[in-house]
Amino acid sequence: MADVLLVDLSRLQFALTALYHFLFVPLTLGLSILIAMMETVYVMTRRTIWRDMTKFWGVLFGINFALGVATGITMEFQFGMNWAYYSHYVGDVFGAPLAIEGLMAFFLEATFVGLFFFGWDRLSPRAHMIVTWLMALGTNFSALWILIANGWMQNPVGSAFNPDTMRMEVTDFMAVIFNPVAQAKFVHTVSAGYVCASTFVLGVSAWYLLRGRHVQLAKRSFVIASAFGLASALSVIVLGDESGYALTDNQKMKLAAIEAMWETEPAPASFTAFGIPSQNDHETHFAIRIPWVMGIIGTRSFDKQIAGIDELVAHAQARIRNGVVAYDALERIKADRNDTAARAVFDASSKDLGYALLLKRYLPDPRQASEQQIKDAAWSTVPYVPLLFFGFRLMVACGFVLAALFAVSLWHTSRESEAPRWLFRAALLAMPLPWIAAEVGWFVAEFGRQPWIIDGVLPTFLATSELGVTDLLLTIAGFTLVYGVLAVIEVRLMLAAIRKGPEVAQVIDDLRAGADPALQPAE
Amino acid sequence: MIEFLFEYESLRVIWWILLGVLLIGFAATDGFDMGVGALLPFVAKTDAERRVAINTIGPVWEGNQVWFILGGGAIFAAWPALYAVSFSGFYLAMFLVLLALIMRPVGFKYRSKRPDPAWRTRWDWALFVGGAVPALIFGVAVGNTLQGVPFHFTPDLRPVYEGSLFGLLNPLALYCGLVSLAMLVTHGAAWLTFKAEGSVAERARAVGTRSAIITAVLFAGGGVLVWLGLLGGYRVTSPIVWDGPSNPLVKTVVADSGAWLANFHAHPLLWIVPALGVAAPLLAAAGFQARLEGWTFLASKLGVAMIIATVGLAMFPILLPSSSNPGHSLAVFDASSSRTTLRNMLVATVIFMPLILTYTAWVYRVLWGKVGEKSIEKAGSSAY
């Protein structure tokens, strides 16, 4: 039985470091594409304003990118440090996408990011543009492989438990790569990154336009951000629905929890626009339901049912019983590697082995579990519904508000007259929304996966390293302190660079030329 | 031929070699970035000099660091048990490495954003920590690996580490940390003489000559420690099944103080590797003095590669010995991924590694030339 506090602290540390890392990632994903597009316009038209735009947004990109890289190092090593049993249990499957991410994406991104900043005088405009696109491509490939790894945690296809090595092993790597959950998540996440960067560019440009500064640069940035933002926001919303659709195959429980659907309704199910779900009563109070909508979104049909929580719990109970059969066979194989009868039983029941492991929360040997413990374990497969219910709605609301903002902005920029000032103020106010949506979206996806670290395969509470609570407290304190200080520095530098504006490069050059004697060449 | 490569035993040996290639790739590229960080307070006194030193690695350190990230990912994918045991076992040491490495991206990027000298000095120290601390700790980790680390597995193959941070910081491991630090400082100095102009290059030449000799002496001293049986030694005593399942509980291993020399005794040709581990740093020392900057850097690179290769060859087929339960040690034949994963990863490496090397070479070529105060002046705001 696992130490509850150790598990909670390990999860807290992962959540803190992942959420923090994910403050920087979406902006990097989108801004790299936006600056590559700006530079392409420069190379096509040779109008220097577009090169200035590329350089200016590039400075902000660089400040953000540095922290994205710094906090990404932690992520790559945290699995081994805090989740050693997980690393052993699924490294055969989960490690490969991470390694390929390094080979295919991160090398590309990190090698060319240096040349993006240092190559302006050394490369022709066309060659520099290609470098910028390769850097943008690298960041986006990076997201692909990370989400293939994450998609497998949500929907562990193409793999099986090997009783000789006591771990999950790949049986079909193509199935892991083309996992529908991973593909949907990839499109959803990079689109969200594009929305994030578009909102950022729109907001900063709006601030300049409100003050009448750098109008030429801000106007063009405003147009490109509203167009790219609208396309991306629509993609997030439509393809966000797509990942909800994939859920019905793989993660019915997450969908039921997000919708607080306690009982299976006759098809097509209604969509709960608002309500107060209660975990204890298994009921949603004050629910406002829109008939049919959920059934249509969730199943793309009028006649297929969406399973409610009660039904899924009953199903989990059956899988736990079958899982205990697999667990018993596995113990017999461990005692005698040549027990062919036990191997036959295991092969038939191994897909439910993970469900038996849920019982380890209550007792060391799942075979000794009482009826009540099996029932409790089945109910433990329900994540905490109210947080998912409200979290999901908050994310969706942010998405719709941003889509509307981009649509209005684009409509105004296409007209002859000046866009109204209230629109610029709205763009400024909307700046936090994509970050809220992205962080909440991560929470819904990963907290909604609980109690599993790998859906149906390995419960989270078994996956940690055998560390002391002091180790965890020390590292959580250390990360919080360092990350906190870096966050303050990052935001200050970002604000300073925005305040200085596009001539920030010029300002630095001037400083170097005269204002600061320490910087004078020593001749 | 191709089928032979895809046999489980060949794949395991190939991935053992690739593990070495990744570690050498990391030390030979990001190693000089760390060396420059560790040298920063000593070879560059004024702000202009520090900017020269920093800008020699400014455009390339980020790509170099990917060797480290890829090393982590590849160990996770190809040697999951090694990833699980070592990273959770060396927990607080890894945490220190992470904190130190986090300082580098922000240090490089943020230092020159403000002219304030106090601000810049603080980031200089951050870059020093980001270079010196990992260089030292990686060596300490190798020292512990040679001596064996106290861990065992439960019957479910859950790794349990029995030691502490202070157990890791024993004198012999710290000695290996000094070898690593001296080696990477030399490598950083070789890069600076090759790439920097003026006083920075001159001071790097002086420091590099000394640290190169120290590297050779310390590394040879490490060999004496192994010969005296002080730096561990483990031997597999049960028959090795090269294509068996990856389960580290089914073999027997004993601690044997002579065992790290057994491979060299069995294949005397292998002595070339440690011999070059001593000779190459001495060549680098001579190169510093003879002002053959390019050759010095290559000699230093060769030294880095041979010193790391010596450790791998001494331990083969063991990857990470357990001092408390030697039978649970991780070995090349029982700690790898499945055959399918090793094969898929090999295909991915064969496709992408030549591409990576090609575009990295192109980037270094574009950036070719010395960095001095004038060239930084000319680059304006695009320099760090």
Q: How do the domains of chain B map onto residue ranges?
A: 2-382
Residue at A276 is within a domain: no
The token pair that represents B174 in the structure block? 């710290």
Provide mean pLDDT across the span A158-167. Answer: 93
Residue B303 has pLDDT above 80, yes or no: yes
The share of chain B scoring above pLDDT 70, in percent, equals: 99
Chain A hits for B94, CB-CB cut-off 8 Å, are 77, 80-81
Between A512 and A295, the more confident residue is: A295
Does A167 contact B378 at a Cβ distance shorter than 8 Å?
no
B129 within 8 A of B301, measured Cβ to Cβ: no
CB distance from A488 to chain B under 8 Å? no
B149 within 8 A of B315, measured Cβ to Cβ: no
Residue at A227 is within a domain: yes
Domain that holds residue A61: 4-249+390-494
CB distance from A516 to chain B under 8 Å? yes
Pick from A58-62, A118-122, B302-306 the range whose average pLDDT is largest. Answer: B302-306
Rounded to 5°, the CA angle A462-A14-A139 comes to 125
Nearest to B288, CA basis, from B344, B214, B349? B214
- The model's pLDDT over A296-347, given as tens digits with 9 standing for 90+, comes to 766 667 777 777 888 888 989 999 999 999 999 999 999 988 999 999 999 9
In single-letter form, the type of residue at position A326 comes to: A
Provide mean pLDDT across the span A441-458. Answer: 91
CB distance from A88 to chain B under 8 Å? yes
Each residue of B49-68: b (16+ CB within 10 Å) or e?
bbbbbbbbbbbbbbbbbbbb
Q: How far apart are CA A23 and CA A439, in angstroms?
A: 8
Provide mean pLDDT across the span A375-387. Answer: 90
For residue A38, the model assigns a pLDDT of 95
How far lies A25's CA from each of A9, A105, A189, B111, in Å? 24, 14, 10, 22
Most B CBs within 10 Å, among A56, A336, A465, to test the B interface: A465
The token pair that represents B148 in the structure block? 């064996």
A35 within 8 A of A61, measured Cβ to Cβ: yes
For B269, half-sphere exposure in the C-beta direction (CA atoms, 13 angstrom radius) is 1
Most A CBs within 10 Å, among B55, B88, B104, B152, to test the A interface: B88
The share of chain B scoring above pLDDT 90, in percent, equals: 82
Residue at A376 is within a domain: no
Q: End-to-end alpha-carbon separation of chain A, Å? A: 70
Residue A99 has pLDDT above 90, yes or no: yes
Residue at A87 is within a domain: yes
For residue B36, the model assigns a pLDDT of 96
For residue A2, the model assigns a pLDDT of 53
Chain A hits for B359, CB-CB cut-off 8 Å, are 108, 111-112, 134
For residue B50, the model assigns a pLDDT of 92
Q: How far apart are CA A69 and CA B111, in angstroms?
A: 16
Q: Cis peptide leading into B317, omega within 30 of 0? A: yes
Residue at A420 is within a domain: yes
A490 within 8 A of A21, measured Cβ to Cβ: no
Non-local (6+) Cβ contacts of B20 within 8 A are B308, B309, B312
* List of E strands, A51-198: 159-162, 167-170
Residues 296-355 of B with CB under 8 A from A: 337-338, 340-341, 344-345, 348-349, 352-353
For residue A209, the model assigns a pLDDT of 92
DSSP B107-154: HHHHHTT---HHHHHHHHHHHHHHHHHHHHHHHHHHHHHHH-B-EEE-
Burial bucket for residue A340 (CB in 10 Å: 0-12, 13-18, 19+): exposed
Nearest to B308, CA basis, from B170, B198, B176? B176
Q: How far apart are CA B166 and CA B168, in angstroms?
A: 5
Assign A520 a pLDDT band (cuts: 50, 70, 90).
very low
Residue at A511 is within a domain: no
Q: Closest CB to A99: pick one of B48, B73, B158.
A: B73
Radius of gyration of the CA atoms of chain B, in A:
21
Alpha helices in B196-240, H assignment, sequence order: 198-227
- The model's pLDDT over A231-247, given as tens digits with 9 standing for 90+, comes to 999 998 887 766 655 55
Q: What is the distance in angstroms between the Cα of A177 and the nearest Cα belonging to chain B?
A: 12
Between A308 and A398, the more confident residue is: A398
Provide mean pLDDT across the span B32-57. Answer: 93
CB distance from A491 to chain B under 8 Å? no
Residue B382 has pLDDT above 80, yes or no: no
Most B CBs within 10 Å, among A55, A59, A65, A92, to test the B interface: A92
Q: Give the count of beta carbons closer than 10 Å to the beta carbon of residue A132.
A: 26
Does A466 contact B374 at a Cβ distance shorter than 8 Å?
no
Q: Which residue of B has its CA nearest to A506?
A: B381
Q: Which residue of B has its CA nearest to A115?
A: B59
- The model's pLDDT over B191-234, given as tens digits with 9 standing for 90+, comes to 999 999 889 999 999 999 999 999 999 999 999 999 998 888 99
Does B367 contact A85 at a Cβ distance shorter than 8 Å?
no
Assign A249 a pLDDT band (cuts: 50, 70, 90).
low
What is the domain count for chain A?
1
- Which run of H or of E encompasses B371? none
The share of chain A scoring above pLDDT 70, in percent, equals: 92
Q: Closest CB to A103: pick one of B70, B113, B161.
A: B70
Provide mean pLDDT across the span B8-33. Answer: 95
